Structure 1
Amino acid sequence: MRELLKRLFKRDQLILLGAGVSVTVIMIALFLSQPKFLHLLNLKIYDNYLRQYHQPAATQVPVIIDLDEKSLAELGQWPWPRYRVALLLKYLTAYGAVAVASDVIFSEPDRTSPMVMQADVRRELHIDMRFEGLPRDLMDYDRLLAYNLKDGPYTLGFDFSRDRAVANNDCCVRPARTAVLSPPGAPSPHDCLPEGDRMICPIPVLAEAAPESGFITITPDLDSVYRRVPLLYSHDGQIYASLALATLMQATGEKNIIIKMSPVGIESIKFNDVVVPTDAGGQMLINYRGPMRTFEYISAADVLARKLAPGSLRGRIAFIGTSASGLKDIRATPLDPGFPGVEAHATIVDNILSKQILSVPDWAPGLEFLGMLAGGLVTTFLLMWARASWIILPLLGMGCAMWYGSVLFYREQNLFISPMYSYLTLGLTFITLTLIKFWREETAKRYIHGAFAHYLAPSVISQIMDNPDALSLDGQEKNITIQFSDVRNFTSLSEKLSPTQVTDLLHDYLTPMTRIITENEGTLDKFIGDAVMAFWNAPLDIENHQEKSLRAALAQQRRLEELNKVFLEKYGFAIAVGIGIHCGPVRVGNMGSSDLFDYTLIGDNVNLASRLEGLTKYYGQKIVVSQAIRDACPDGHYFRILDNVRVKGKKEPVTIYTVYAPEEAEARRDELALHERAHQAYVDRDFETAETLFRQLRGYGRDTILCDLYIERCEHLQTEPPACDWDCVFTHKTK
Structure 2
Amino acid sequence: MLNLLKRLFKKDQLILLAAGTCVTLTMIAFFLHQPKFLHLLNLKIYDHYLRQYHQPAATDVPVIIDLDEKSLAELGQWPWPRYRVAMLLKFLTAYGAVGVASDIIYGEPDRTSPTIMQRDVKRELGIDMGFQNLPEDLLDYDKLLAFNLKDGPFILGFDFIRTLDEHSGLASREDCYVRPAKVAVLSPPGAPSPQDVLPQAEGMICPIAPLAKAAPESGFITITPDLDSVYRRVPLLYTCNGEIYASLALATLMQASGQKSIILKMSTLGIESIKFNGIVIPTDARGQMLINYRGGSRTFEYISASDVLNRKLEPGRLAGKIAFIGTSSSGLKDIRATPLDPGFPGVEAHATIVDNILSEQLLSVPDWAPGMEFLGMLAGGLVTTFLLMWARASWIILPLIGMGYAMWYGSVLLYEEQRYFLSPMYSYITLALTFTTLTIIKFWREEAAKRFIHGAFAHYLAPSVISQIMDNPEALSLEGQEKDITIQFSDVRSFTSLSEKLTPTQVTNLLHDYLTPMTRIITEHEGTLDKFIGDAVMAFWNAPLDIENHQEKALRAALAQQDKLIELNEEFLTKYGFTIAVGIGIHSGPVRVGNMGSADLFDYTLIGDNVNLASRLEGLTKYYGQKLVVSQNIVDACGDGFVFRILDRVRVKGKEEPVTIYTAYTPEEAEERKEELTTYNQAHEAYVAQDFAKALELFAKVAELGNERVLCDMYIERCEHLIENPPDCHWDCVFTHKTK
Work out whether residues 159 and 200 of structure 1, in 8 Å CA contact, stay in contact via their aligned partners in 2: yes
Change (3 A) 1:462 1:281: closer
Change (3 A) 1:76 1:388: closer
User: Aligned to 1:408, which of 398, 409, 413?
Assistant: 413
CA distance in 2, matches of 1:459, 1:68: 83
Change (3 A) 1:470 1:355: closer
What displacement does 1:457 show?
Answer: 7.6
Q: Is the partner of 1:233 in helix, strand or coil?
A: strand
Q: Is the partner of 1:41 in helix, strand or coil?
A: helix
Work out whether residues 469 and 475 of structure 2, in 8 Å CA contact, stay in contact via their aligned partners in 1: no
The amino acid across from 1:332 in the alignment is: A
The amino acid across from 2:24 in the alignment is: T
What displacement does 1:328 show?
Answer: 3.3
Partner residue in 2 for 1:199: 204
- 328-337 vs 245-254, greater mean Cα deviation: 328-337
What displacement does 1:248 show?
Answer: 0.8
Partner residue in 2 for 1:533: none
What displacement does 1:348 show?
Answer: 0.8
Partner residue in 2 for 1:51: 51
- 83-92 vs 462-471, greater mean Cα deviation: 462-471
CA distance in 1, matches of 2:94, 2:402: 59
What displacement does 1:439 show?
Answer: 2.2
Work out whether residues 115 and 140 of structure 1, in 8 Å CA contact, stay in contact via their aligned partners in 2: yes
Partner residue in 2 for 1:112: 112
Partner residue in 2 for 1:156: 156
Change (3 A) 1:312 1:377: same
The amino acid across from 2:103 in the alignment is: D
> Does 2:350 correspond to 1:345?
yes
CA distance in 1, matches of 2:281, 2:381: 35
User: Aligned to 1:182, which of 175, 182, 187?
Assistant: 187
Partner residue in 1 for 2:229: 224
Partner residue in 1 for 2:550: none
Work out whether residues 368 and 421 of structure 1, in 8 Å CA contact, stay in contact via their aligned partners in 2: yes
User: Aligned to 1:280, which of 278, 285, 288?
Assistant: 285
Cα deviations by residue, 1:672-711 (Å, 9 ceiling, x for unpaired): xxxxxxxxxxxxxxxxxxxxxxxxxxxxxxxxxxxxxxxx
> Does 2:81 correspond to 1:76?
no
> Does 2:44 correspond to 1:39?
no
Partner residue in 1 for 2:574: none
User: Aligned to 2:242, which of 237, 243, 246?
Assistant: 237
Q: Is the partner of 2:294 in helix, strand or coil?
A: coil
CA distance in 2, matches of 1:166, 1:77: 25
Partner residue in 1 for 2:62: 62
What displacement does 1:464 show?
Answer: 6.4
> Does 2:136 correspond to 1:136?
yes
The amino acid across from 2:139 in the alignment is: M
What displacement does 1:292 show?
Answer: 1.4
Cα deviations by residue, 1:120-172 (Å, 9 ceiling, x for unpaired): 23333444333333222222211111111111100000001233414222111
Work out whether residues 114 and 139 of structure 1, in 8 Å CA contact, stay in contact via their aligned partners in 2: yes
Q: Is the partner of 2:377 in helix, strand or coil?
A: helix
Structure 1 gap segments, 5+ residues each: 473-735
CA distance in 2, matches of 1:39, 1:430: 22
Partner residue in 1 for 2:272: 267
- 389-398 vs 230-239, greater mean Cα deviation: 389-398
CA distance in 2, matches of 1:45, 1:279: 18
Q: Is the partner of 1:179 in helix, strand or coil?
A: strand
What displacement does 1:471 show?
Answer: 8.0
Partner residue in 1 for 2:658: none
What displacement does 1:401 show?
Answer: 0.7
Work out whether residues 108 and 208 of structure 2, in 8 Å CA contact, stay in contact via their aligned partners in 1: yes
Work out whether residues 158 and 199 of structure 1, in 8 Å CA contact, stay in contact via their aligned partners in 2: yes
Partner residue in 1 for 2:213: 208
> Does 2:170 correspond to 1:167?
yes
Change (3 A) 1:458 1:257: same
Change (3 A) 1:440 1:459: closer
User: Aligned to 2:296, which of 291, 295, 320?
Assistant: 291
CA distance in 1, matches of 2:419, 2:474: 63
What displacement does 1:381 show?
Answer: 0.5
Partner residue in 1 for 2:696: none
Change (3 A) 1:464 1:218: closer
The amino acid across from 2:101 in the alignment is: A
Work out whether residues 64 and 351 of structure 2, in 8 Å CA contact, stay in contact via their aligned partners in 1: yes
CA distance in 1, matches of 2:470, 2:238: 78
What displacement does 1:338 show?
Answer: 1.4
Q: Equivalent residues in 2 for 1:505-524 (5 A)?
A: none
The amino acid across from 1:22 in the alignment is: C
What displacement does 1:118 show?
Answer: 2.6
Q: Equivalent residues in 2 for 1:446-485 (5 A)?
A: 447=452, 465=469
What displacement does 1:231 show?
Answer: 0.7
Partner residue in 2 for 1:98: 98
Q: Is the partner of 2:396 in helix, strand or coil?
A: helix
Identity of aligned residues (%): 77
Structure 2 gap segments, 5+ residues each: 477-740
Cα deviations by residue, 1:564-601 (Å, 9 ceiling, x for unpaired): xxxxxxxxxxxxxxxxxxxxxxxxxxxxxxxxxxxxxx
Work out whether residues 101 and 156 of structure 1, in 8 Å CA contact, stay in contact via their aligned partners in 2: yes
Q: Is the partner of 2:80 in helix, strand or coil?
A: coil
CA distance in 1, matches of 2:300, 2:398: 45
What displacement does 1:465 show?
Answer: 4.2
CA distance in 2, matches of 1:139, 1:389: 84
Q: Is the partner of 1:266 in helix, strand or coil?
A: strand
CA distance in 2, matches of 1:137, 1:94: 21
Partner residue in 2 for 1:333: 338
> Does 2:389 correspond to 1:359?
no
Work out whether residues 458 and 466 of structure 2, in 8 Å CA contact, stay in contact via their aligned partners in 1: no
Partner residue in 2 for 1:3: 3
Which one has the largest radius of gyration? Answer: 2
What displacement does 1:374 show?
Answer: 0.2
The amino acid across from 2:30 in the alignment is: L
> Does 2:261 correspond to 1:256?
yes
Work out whether residues 453 and 461 of structure 1, in 8 Å CA contact, stay in contact via their aligned partners in 2: no
Work out whether residues 457 and 466 of structure 2, in 8 Å CA contact, stay in contact via their aligned partners in 1: no
Q: Is the partner of 1:292 in helix, strand or coil?
A: coil
What displacement does 1:461 show?
Answer: 5.6
Change (3 A) 1:110 1:12: same
Work out whether residues 454 and 466 of structure 2, in 8 Å CA contact, stay in contact via their aligned partners in 1: no
CA distance in 2, matches of 1:465, 1:4: 35
The amino acid across from 2:106 in the alignment is: F
Work out whether residues 164 and 198 of structure 1, in 8 Å CA contact, stay in contact via their aligned partners in 2: no
Partner residue in 2 for 1:24: 24
Cα deviations by residue, 1:516-559 (Å, 9 ceiling, x for unpaired): xxxxxxxxxxxxxxxxxxxxxxxxxxxxxxxxxxxxxxxxxxxx
Work out whether residues 329 and 341 of structure 1, in 8 Å CA contact, stay in contact via their aligned partners in 2: yes
CA distance in 1, matches of 2:454, 2:27: 39
What displacement does 1:405 show?
Answer: 1.1
Q: Is the partner of 1:313 in helix, strand or coil?
A: coil
Name the TM-score, length of structure 2 as normaliser: 0.61
Q: Equivalent residues in 2 for 1:676-687 (5 A)?
A: none
